[in-house]
Structure 1
Amino acid sequence: MFKARITTAVSALGATAAGTILLGCSASVEVNKSTPPKLSADKLSSTLSKKLAATTGQAKPDISCPEALVGKVGTTTRCTLTADDGSTLGITVKVTSVSGDQIHYDFKADAKASPAAN
């Protein structure tokens, strides 16, 4: 009974986070100077997690990004949000503009989460 309530709460959190992401969000991050600028995978993951937590009022979700985001307009990368129950939600990040060493990007989650692997 208790476990079912936790799963329901996690599912509700995942649905809330997914609904927020689906609305579309944007962010910008200043990075070290290089040509073109890059935002490390760890920094991108951390920034996305902070933005979602601030938007939803929930704890920071577990987000991982497999590669750095290159500061070139139109560049995309895929990150993954993993819920407590193991289900995952893909997030597409797209560079919208670059101002010097600052990368501006939008992000949007997939419409449907993938269930946890058994």
Structure 2
Amino acid sequence: MTLGRSSTALLSLSAAAVGLLLVGCSASVDVGAEPELSSGKLSDEVARQLAATTGQPKPDVACPEDLAGKVGTTTRCTLTAGDGSTLGVTVTVTSVKDEQIKFDIEADKTASPAPR
């Protein structure tokens, strides 16, 4: 039974712990003819990068707006952990070449507790 408890503990990684692992994470996405990444694709890519960085399943990430392919452009996304706590994530475009947007992902240092 210890194995089950360990697995459960690993799967319920808090938003704060994910944030600590995320500082300085980078991603690159090929977006097609228009240098813009839709909010849905951005949310999915940020979640994929988080999962790859932490070794955990893809978290619930919501990005409310599209990301324009212009160096320095930023947007804010929200990661919601299994316990309902949330963590802000800043996405910043670092380069754009042809149809490929490269960006950094940086999580806030502290999470907001789950609503009661």
Which TM bucket (shorter chain)? 0.7 to 0.9
Q: Match for 2:92 among 80, 91, 94?
A: 94
Give the ranges of 4+ consecutive aligned residues of structure 1 lying more than 4 Å apart after TM superposition.
none
Q: Deviations over 1:76-98 (max 9, x none)?
A: 00000001111100000000010
SS of the residue corresponding to residue 63 of structure 1 reads strand
Percent identity of paired positions between Structure 1 and Structure 2: 61
Which range is displaced more, 13-22 or 76-85?
Answer: 13-22
What runs of 5+ residues in structure 1 fail to find an aligned partner?
none
Q: Tell me by how many angstroms 1:65 deviates.
A: 0.2
SS of the residue corresponding to residue 49 of structure 2 reads helix
TM-score w.r.t. structure 2 length? 0.86
Task: Report the count of equivalent residues.
Answer: 109
TM-score w.r.t. structure 1 length? 0.85
Higher relative contact order (CA 8 A, sep 6+): 2
The whole-number CA distance in structure 1 between the counterparts of 2:112 and 2:55 is: 23
Q: Which residue of 1 aligns with 2:67?
A: 69
Task: After TM superposition, list the pairs within 5 Å mapping 1:1-118 onto structure 2.
Answer: 9=9, 13-14=13-14, 15-22=16-23, 24-34=24-34, 37-118=35-116
Please tell me whether the aligned partners of residues 85 and 114 of structure 2 are also in contact (alpha carbons under 8 angstroms).
Answer: yes
Change (3 A) 1:25 1:44: same
SS of the residue corresponding to residue 32 of structure 1 reads coil
Please tell me whether the aligned partners of residues 16 and 56 of structure 1 are also in contact (alpha carbons under 8 angstroms).
Answer: no
RMSD: 1.9
The whole-number CA distance in structure 2 between the counterparts of 1:61 and 1:31 is: 22
What runs of 5+ residues in structure 2 fail to find an aligned partner?
none
